[in-house]
Structure 1
Amino acid sequence: MRPVGGGKGQAGGVQKGLSCRGMVATLLHEIPLQGGDVTDGVVRVGDTVRRPASTSTPAVHALLRHLEAAGFEGAPRVLGMDRLGREILTFVPGTTGLDLASATDEALACLGVLLRDFHDATAGFPLVAEGWEGGSNDDKAPEVIGHCDLTPENVIFRGGLPHAMIDFDLARPTTRLFDIVTTLRHWAPIADPVDRHPLLRNLDVGERLRLFCDAYGVPPRDRRRLLELARIRFHRSYAVMRTRATAGGNWAKMWAGGAGQRIRRAAAWLDVHEDELHASLV
């Protein structure tokens, strides 16, 4: 497992006046971090993480400061910007990704609690659309700020249990259920078995959907809508990724690597198994 603290975004510029000697000294102390799929250039410097800034950085920083004021411990803290125009966040020790511990039912239930605590902590934060990275969404009015990218690579584990979430660049106003669906897409997972991590390939997806919803406290009305919203999300995520891929960069690499086909396979698998999954949920 690797140390974490990475993220997604667009590269910022180098501040004028930074000497070559100062730049070299900075680079010598930088440890590259393998973060998400979208951004390169995420590094660790001491107990901090430096990440390229993006258009959503001001909104993300405001959110992280709100979470700190609310007492939510499951997110990094904002420390400002460095001389290279990168954001500075606290480094959160731990591991990311799936292993024998993080793929357990206990870890999944704890993730449901973590996501519920995060959503509750966003209460009172302005639910305005401006400033956030775009993406697929629910049709209902926003209720919370969703993480919207809670993949195994964006959850920090300690002792095999979820401790914190990182990489908030795709966060945006949404419904609780949309963020739940996005999370379960990766963690149940709602995916064709051929595309699942080996540790998740033979698990009972319906049972894991129910377990997560029980831990989060998803009400019956939302459980009845969960699979419908998952199908909507597949359709819209496919369209969003295809559009972003035309701009090149890492989005194009993900698309060329089969992201669109994986979404299509997941939607087809859901069509076949919807009745049994629904029975487990309700």
Structure 2
Amino acid sequence: MVATLLHEIPLQGGDVTDGVVRVGDTVRRPASTSTPAVHALLRHLEAVGFEGAPRVVGMDGLGREILTYVPGTTGVRLESVTDEALAGLAVLVREFHDATAGFPLTLEGWAYGSNDDKAPEVIGHCDLTPDNVIFRHDGDGGPAAVPRALIDFDLARPTTRLFDIVTTLRHWAPIADPVDRHPLLRDLDVGERLRLFCDAYGVPPRDRRRLLDLARLRFHRSYDVMRTRASTGGGWAKMWAGGAGERIRRAAAWLDTYEDELHAHLV
């Protein structure tokens, strides 16, 4: 046991799940009630040839899930805020959504979270923060890094394509008050980035017209969900105490102020 612990490297970056470690070429994560559903999804993605997600190895003697380690970089970096990176992420998200075709869209077994009112179309990741997207350099030796994989599927669940897109753009456009943005994201043209993502993904006009309304709905519902989760303690309580609720409220107010300008880029 001591020898095993010496080789466990804590992995940082996630807001909610504590105790995530790297052991060799694997990642060990505490299991949750949604782990069986997530493992079924990851096995489906492997079976259909989607390469942008970890593979399931199994469970260890401590009851933790074992996944393959996906090498690369995460977080907000110069290489991850470019237009090319955003377009690449849109393509990766589209490929992920398409890869979930044929997977059961039952709502049982998944983590609870805010959602669209429309019937589920795909399995959404629903938590594509910069910490959950892996960037790697192209094999041609060029300087640009591109999004290659999605990790941390703890909040995945059946939803609509547009809801998962809205959740992604919340962090990557970003749809947020500038005071709450990472410095590298503070001065970006959010409207242009919304359009760029939608173009690269192939979002149809009817969904573009609904995107901002759904973003507003998501803000209100995610506020309520996070407040409820915070009452259970743990990582959610720490996020709430750190001002997560206030950031959601500021983002919603910012969206109300700039909605017409953003909408013009989409339609």
Which residue number in structure 2 is paired with residue 200 of structure 1? 185
Q: Would you say the 8 A contact 1:97–1:152 is kept in 2?
A: yes
Which residue number in structure 2 is paired with residue 104 of structure 1? 82
TM-score relative to the length of structure 2: 0.97
Match of 1:250 among 223, 231, 235: 235
Deviation at 1:35, TM superposition (A): 3.7
Q: Would you say the 8 A contact 1:224–1:278 is kept in 2?
A: yes
Query: Which secondary structure state, in structure 2, belongs to the residue aligned with residue 101 of structure 1?
Result: helix
Which residue number in structure 2 is paired with residue 62 of structure 1? 40
Match of 2:174 among 181, 186, 189: 189
Query: Which secondary structure state, in structure 2, belongs to the residue aligned with residue 168 of structure 1?
Result: coil
Deviation at 1:183, TM superposition (A): 0.0
Q: Say whether 1:76 aligns with 2:54.
A: yes
1:93-139 deviation line (CA, Å, top 9, x unaligned):
00000111111000000000000000000000000011000000000
TM-score relative to the length of structure 1: 0.92
1:232-267 deviation line (CA, Å, top 9, x unaligned):
000000000001111111111100100000000000
Deviation at 1:161, TM superposition (A): 1.0
Q: Would you say the 8 A contact 1:147–1:170 is kept in 2?
A: yes
Match of 1:260 among 225, 228, 245: 245
Quote the Cα distance in structure 2 between the aligned partners of 1:247 and 1:77. Answer: 30
Residue type of the partner of 1:221?
A: R
Quote the Cα distance in structure 1 between the aligned partners of 2:234 and 2:51. Answer: 33
Alignment of 1:1-282 (within 5 A): 23-159=1-137, 160-282=145-267
Q: Would you say the 8 A contact 1:50–1:87 is kept in 2?
A: yes
1:12-71 deviation line (CA, Å, top 9, x unaligned):
xxxxxxxxxxx2121011111114111111111110001100000000000000000010
Deviation at 1:147, TM superposition (A): 0.1
Quote the Cα distance in structure 2 between the aligned partners of 1:35 and 1:274. Answer: 31
Distance 1:115 1:127, change over 3 A: same
Quote the Cα distance in structure 1 between the aligned partners of 2:52 and 2:83. Answer: 20
Quote the Cα distance in structure 2 between the aligned partners of 1:246 and 1:166. Answer: 26
Quote the Cα distance in structure 2 between the aligned partners of 1:77 and 1:167. Answer: 12
Query: Which secondary structure state, in structure 2, belongs to the residue aligned with residue 142 of structure 1?
Result: coil
Which residue number in structure 2 is paired with residue 7 of structure 1? none
List runs of 5+ in structure 2 lacking aligned partners: 138-144
List runs of 5+ in structure 1 lacking aligned partners: 1-22
Identity of aligned residues (%): 87
Q: Would you say the 8 A contact 1:32–1:43 is kept in 2?
A: yes
Q: Would you say the 8 A contact 1:35–1:42 is kept in 2?
A: no
Quote the Cα distance in structure 2 between the aligned partners of 1:224 and 1:185. Answer: 17
Query: Which secondary structure state, in structure 2, belongs to the residue aligned with residue 87 of structure 1?
Result: strand
Quote the Cα distance in structure 1 between the aligned partners of 2:215 and 2:2. Answer: 47
Q: Would you say the 8 A contact 1:156–1:165 is kept in 2?
A: yes
Quote the Cα distance in structure 1 between the aligned partners of 2:173 and 2:251. Answer: 12
Query: Which secondary structure state, in structure 2, belongs to the residue aligned with residue 177 of structure 1?
Result: helix
